Chains A and B, each alone.
Chain A
Amino acid sequence: MKMIIKDMVDKIKTGELTSEELVQSYINEILKNESTVNAFLTLTCDEALAKAKEIDSRIKAGESLGKLSGIPIAIKDNICTEGVNTTCASKMLEDFIPPYDATVVKKLLAEDAIIIGKTNMDEFAMGSSNENSAFKKTLNPRDLTRVPGGSSGGSAAAVAGKMAPVSLGSDTGGSIRQPAAFCGVVGLKPTYGLVSRFGLIAFGSSLDQIGPFSNSVEDSAYILNIISGTDQYDSTSIRDLKEIDYTSSLKEGIKGMKIGVPEEFFGEGLDEEIKTSVNNSLEALKELGAEVEIFSLPIIKDGLAAYYIMSSAEASTNLSRYDGIRYGYKSPNYTNIDELMENSRSEGFGPEVKRRIMMGTYALSSGYYDAYYSKADKFRTKLKHDLKETFKKYDLIVGPVSPVLPFKIGEKNTDPLAMYLADIYTITANLGGNPAISIPSGISKEGLPIGIQLMGDMLCEEKIFKAAYSLEQALALEL
């Protein structure tokens, strides 16, 4: 079933393939794999099949349909879907049914896509392994003893497990790119503001960005065409965006492209096999005609503190809306309003979410604000400045996605700090607002996927796609 989405759509439109056949084939995979992989929190297979039949009959009737006509898609469970449970993998929102669609969902549906289910994640997108879900543990379809990564682990596993041809996730500190690397699929975090966040349940509002998981770079570009664009309902959405067809320049090649490789990405803590694999890919990029140069960008090794301070501070304010009154979990144990709020929050949130709320509240509290939040903000300004300077010299920055291979279930979930350290290579793009993609770079001795990250200047997705596509074709990995 290794077909690009555009071809699937063309085949459905010409009647060579029906949407019903396509959707049914993915449902068959779900029936086969889902009971072990646990990628989904909600499945909408019956509704998907009904919609597929409707699309087939509209095509038969000669109607012209959208760019995703009849294509099933899985959506991370922190993206609002009207009338379909959206839980954030939290007891807090276990029974939450949004009264509206997120802008990205609206855009997909307007192109006649079919939602096949909502995917598992770390609670409120906080985590790197999917082990923080309140409901189930997603396993890595490439090795069922290991985590799929996180926080969009379910979306990555759904695509890697062939249960959906494409899915949406969200990336606050690596939550698309790291699970993409762990599961051996393509994951894109677009430029901050390129894709609307309206209807994405907020974690760190200045860092969050929605993006696609797919089997190929071409599919990733195809989906970005559809989900990107200015949105009046998102005040951080970039105004006056040029309309770009991201698929049009994919095959232009990368002769003369300048690629910078920060030596700080290859320091202590990087797994040897990942290092070798990334180096092999760098050689491949050279052979494709790119100028690859190692350089020093000291600031990128120091982002972790700033990232965790800022994201936790934003989380603590964003999550203050969960008070047990208008929606969400409501504790049965209370005698007054304060108890109602305290008990609802204490019973509804899981341990990692509480930890981040506490850390964020601490960093924002009087007496510590200057020591932590202000410092982190200053770091961010400096990082943005240094990145801007870097992209005057290089078209792209390339390096590893994760310092470690997909780890075993339970291996890291007792030490929060060890888990945080695994985000070291991905947080830069979030703090900077830059676009970055993770694509498969190789396979470890044990057969585990390894990813490589390509990061660009603001709104330079075209360059990223071009290089990622060339590399993907050159490596021709069979995963």
Chain B
Amino acid sequence: MKVSIDEVKYIAKLSKLKFSDDEAAKFAKEFESILDNFQYLNELNLDINEDNENVELKPVIRQDEVKSFECNDLFRNVKDMQETYIKVPKVIE
């Protein structure tokens, strides 16, 4: 399975990660080796003989309770704030 550097860069873009050309080339190689090793999955017979018993999934619900947090606790991990707003770079031009 051939994985190109462009493909790696495209996946990186989807993942919101950045790689140098060297890193991307290394990734492409590793990917190839891992995916080649995983090819056997396509050759397995994964049919199940009996009727597939349908497991009934029940919805899981709970009361939506209001829980109060101290503002300081809640925003303890935010790096950049103004009053109770989190600051981000301009999103819309």
Contacts and interface: CB of A to CB of B under 8 A. Distances in A.
Given A99-B76, A239-B58, A357-B17, A308 B38 contact: yes
A475 interface: no
Contact of A357 (B15, B58, B78): B15
Contacts of A340: 88-89
A375 B41 contact: yes
B11 A336 contact: no
Interface string A350-368: 0000110111011001000
Contacts of A362: 11, 31
A309 B88 contact: no
Contacts of A97: 76-77
A96 B77 contact: yes
Interface in B16-38: 16-19, 27, 30-31, 33-34, 37-38
A391 to B, nearest CB: 15
B38 A337 contact: no
Chain B interface main SS type: loop
A309 B76 CA distance: 35
A376 B12 CA distance: 22
B42 interface: yes
B58 A342 contact: no
Contact of A359 (B16, B31, B47, B91): B31
A96 to B, nearest CB: 6
Interface in A337-351: 337-338, 340-343, 345-346, 349
B15 A358 contact: yes
A302 B40 CA distance: 8
Nearest to B65: A232
Interface in A394-425: 416-417, 420
Nearest to B48: A385
A362 B19 CA distance: 15
Contacts of A349: 17
A372 to B, nearest CB: 8
B86 interface: yes
Which has the most chain A C-beta neighbours within 10 Å: B11, B31, B90?
Answer: B11
Which has the most chain A C-beta neighbours within 10 Å: B15, B19, B33?
Answer: B15
Interface in A317-335: 320, 323-328, 330, 334-335
A207 to B, nearest CB: 17
B80 to A, nearest CB: 7
Contact of B48 (A239, A359, A382): A382
Contact of B44 (A95, A302, A358, A372): A302
Contacts of A376: 41
B60 interface: yes
B73 A99 contact: yes
A3 interface: no
Given A239-B58, A336-B90, A358 B42 contact: no
Interface string B59-90: 01010000001000110111110000010111
A358 B8 contact: yes
A385 to B, nearest CB: 5
A227 B12 CA distance: 39
B80 A336 contact: no
Contacts of B47: 382
A342 B17 contact: yes
Nearest to A303: B41
Nearest to B30: A416
Nearest to A305: B38
